[in-house]
C-alpha cells in the first residue's frame, strides 16, 4: 500500500498549499509552485515542524 501524502478533504488543498508556503517563508525556505524535490531533508523538516507548531498553537488558542 502506498503511503503517499493525500488530502482527506480535497477542497482544503489550496489552503494547505498556502499554509505550507507561509511556513516555508517563515523558516527561510523558498518553495516553487511545482516540483520541490531539490530542497534538503533539513529544509523539508523545518517546514513540516513549523506547520505542526502553528497547528498546535491554533488548537491551543481554540481551547481558551
Residues 17-57 pLDDT 10s: 999 999 999 999 999 988 999 999 999 999 999 999 999 99
Our count of domains for the chain comes to 1
Radius of gyration of the chain (CA): 13
Q: How confident is the model at residue 64 (pLDDT cuts 50, 70, 90)?
A: confident
Q: Give residue 41's domain range.
A: 10-63
Helices and strands counted in the chain (H then E): 2, 0
- The dihedral built from the CA positions of residue 42, 30, 27 and 47, taken in this order, carries a sign that is negative
Q: How confident is the model at residue 7 (pLDDT cuts 50, 70, 90)?
A: confident
Any domain includes 2: no
Other residues' Cβ atoms within 10 Å of the Cβ of residue 43:
17
C-alpha cell at 13: 488543498
Any domain includes 1: no
Any domain includes 5: no
Any domain includes 23: yes
Contact 29, 39 (CB under 8 A): yes
Amino acid at each position: 500500500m502506498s503511503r503517499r501524502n493525500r488530502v482527506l478533504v480535497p477542497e482544503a488543498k489550496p489552503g494547505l498549499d498556502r499554509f505550507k508556503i507561509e511556513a516555508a517563508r517563515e523558516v527561510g525556505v523558498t518553495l516553487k509552485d511545482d516540483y520541490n524535490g531539490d530542497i534538503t531533508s533539513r529544509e523539508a523538516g523545518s517546514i513540516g515542524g513549523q506547520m505542526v507548531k502553528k497547528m498546535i498553537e491554533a488548537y491551543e488558542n481554540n481551547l481558551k
